[in-house]
Every structure is written in structure tokens, then in C-alpha cells.
Structure 1
Amino acid sequence: MQNDYLKLALSNIDKKFNDHNSGRFVAQQLMDARIPLSDGNKHWETSPAQLIKQMHHLLGVLQATPGDLLFWGTQNAPYEVGIYVGGNQFIAIHNSEHVAKIQKISKSWYPCIAGSIF
């Protein structure tokens, strides 16, 4: 199931989205792949702060596996989210282009925590 969700997200690379809302992009991928929520809710939230609360469990960034979500900011106030694809890369909406892109994790743009959807 996690592989299907990641494949779906990868199929959206270079597609333009109407706004720069990484949470909305991630939530849409989860809903389109029909990934169920562990808490019984019907819809994935679109804000990083609400998405982090919907994670099955949280883990350190170094323990992330492909398909896990990466969050930037703090655990209590994340402001950005992306889908980890492995190899220090993630999928998110690029700020200036409003396009889904594979981006690299760097020292200057390092997530604070990862979350597992399973």
C-alpha cells in the first residue's frame, strides 16, 4: 500500500498545482491512494500541523523510509511537509514554481521529524 501511494506521488512530478500548499498536495496523494487513517477520520488534513497529528507514529528523520512524511519547523508547529522518497530526497510543491518536484534534504533545509502513515 505504501508503494502504491509513493508511486502515485511520483507520477505527479512536474505537474503544476494552483497554490503552494505542501500539506494539500500530501493530503491529496493520501486520499487518491485511498490510504486509511488510523484514527477513524474520513479525510486527511491539509495543514502540516494537522497532518502531523494524524501520523501513525513519529520517528527521527534518519529512521524515515520511502513513503514516510517529513516535517519542517518543530514537532508542535510544523510549517512544511514532504513525502520522503529515499536517498535524502523528498517530493513537495516547489515554492516559486507551484510544481511538484523531487528536492534534496540539505543542512540548510533539514526536516525536524518524520511521520509514518502506517
Structure 2
Amino acid sequence: MDTTPELLLCQRIRDKLKADKQALFAEFDANNQVNPLVTKLRRAVDVALTDAWTGLELPGDAALVAVGGYGRGELFPYSDVDVLLLLPGDPDAETAAKLERFIGLCWDLGLEIGSPGR
């Protein structure tokens, strides 16, 4: 990410995700309940991924699909985030570049993305 808007986007999303995770872990420390933690953690990552996807203005005919444990609504701390990047055909150069920036942004957010493309 080399542009100021993308850096600001990353910082905004990262700060929100960090605050959300801190609150969730504090809640877990207080009640030791795993199910609410994995569900709420999935929701926090949903928000982060949605903000990143829309912030990078990916094409409307592309889809980001949650799969694996994340797709089942269960995201354990320190798990990778399995997503499927679904496209109607081979991406043009601009779309391919945006998808690469999206994956890079996710890594910058601290999300370990598992991302098959179709």
C-alpha cells in the first residue's frame, strides 16, 4: 500500500479491529465463555473485511465469500481467515491489482488470509 488514502484506510480499520479484539478478550477473561468469543470475533473480522473490500472499491461483480470455520461463523483467536475471492472470469489488470492490494491490506491488519480464487 503506497497511497495515503489506503494507509489511512488501513490505520482506521486496524485501530477499530484492535479495540474490538481487546474488548472481546477482556470479556472472555471475565466470563471464560468460548462461544460468544468466537462469534463476536467473527463479526469484528466481518466488519474489517467489509470495510477493506469497500474501501478499495473492488468491482461489484466480484464476491468475497467466507469459508471454513470463518464461514461457519466460528473464528477462534489466532486462526487464519478463510475466504474465497469469486470472480466472473479472469480479472483484468486493474482488478488483479486491487485484489492484491486487498490481500496485502488484510495482512497489514494482522489477518492471516487463506484465499483461493475462482
- Using the size of structure 2 for normalisation, the TM-score is 0.35
Greater Rg, structure 1 or structure 2?
Answer: 2
Higher-strand-fraction structure:
1
Higher relative contact order (CA 8 A, sep 6+): 1
Higher-helix-fraction structure:
2
